[in-house]
Amino acid sequence: MIEVSRLVKRHGTKVVVRDVSFTARAGRVTGFLGPNGAGKSSTLRILLGLDSADAGTALIGGKPYRALRNPLRTVGSLLEGSGAHRSRTARGHLSWVAASNGIPRSRVPEVLDLVGLGDVGRKRVGGFSLGMNQRLGLAAALLGDPEVLVLDEPVNGLDPHGIRWLREFLRARAATGRTVLLSSHLMSELASTADDLVVIHHGEIVHSGPKGDVTTGHASLEDAFFALTDREDRWDS
């Protein structure tokens, strides 16, 4: 479970995350939805211990990321591609991540198979497509078989087959009682994948709850999103 409470992040005088609170529950896929620049990555970076908050807390299984003993066994994340060096092979990259996190090397071929890269494990990452690189990042996130997955815009670069595969993979993951938090600016993606939605706009949460609650009274998730964010713009003015 992920619990974000009254989180604030400033860059200079600009407040990019403003009193953000939400929960991502076990056994559910939670979609974190907002347009570019809304504050999704800033929130996720704090959650994953890559940046510090000016106020508030972001907890994974009741602890801040930096207090986790074996972070990769608790939470797997995909932020921007795989981070693998071009000259490394997929296996080489994953073996290095596994070794530096006390995870047995035998897990490497397992996660390569899980993400559909079983046949290209000995190929260099420099020759990978964007979609393959995303799959490699996901493989690294899965190395520790974590309870919690945090993915920032994971469908970037995936072809339609890959998008469908990822949707089914994440739904299956949640069905085993794990927590999945998935950020996207693509409403269509979250409409078909998420159970719960957290909508962020201008650094503020404008709605959170079961997907059905967000769409009630609207023809589609897209209509609901524009209604929520238009309302927010009126508050601004």
Ligand X SMILES: Nc1ncnc2c1ncn2[C@@H]1O[C@H](COP(=O)(O)OP(=O)(O)OP(=O)(O)O)[C@@H](O)[C@H]1O
Q: Starting at the edge strand that comes first in sequence, how are the strands of the sheet with 204-210 ordered?
A: 75-78, 148-152, 179-184, 29-33, 196-201, 204-210
> Is residue 41 within the footprint of ligand X (CB under 6 A)?
yes
Interaction with ligand X in 100-119: which residues (CB under 6 A)?
A: none
Shortest separation between residue 42's beta carbon and ligand X, angstroms: 3
Distance CA 69, CA 72 (A): 9
Q: Which amino acid is at 108?
A: V
- The H or E element that residue 60 is part of is strand 55-60
> Is residue 144 within the footprint of ligand X (CB under 6 A)?
no
Shortest separation between residue 68's beta carbon and ligand X, angstroms: 22
- In 61-121, at which residue ranges do the beta strands (DSSP E only) sit? 75-78
Shortest separation between residue 176's beta carbon and ligand X, angstroms: 28
Residue closer to ligand X by CB (options 185, 218) is 185
Distance CA 170, CA 139 (A): 13
In this structure, what token pair is assigned to residue 121? Answer: 């494990």
> Is residue 36 within the footprint of ligand X (CB under 6 A)?
yes
Among 11, 66, 85, 231, binds ligand X (CB under 6 A): 11
Interaction with ligand X in 156-215: which residues (CB under 6 A)?
A: 185
User: Which positions touch ligand X (CB under 6 A)?
Assistant: 11, 16, 34, 36-42, 185
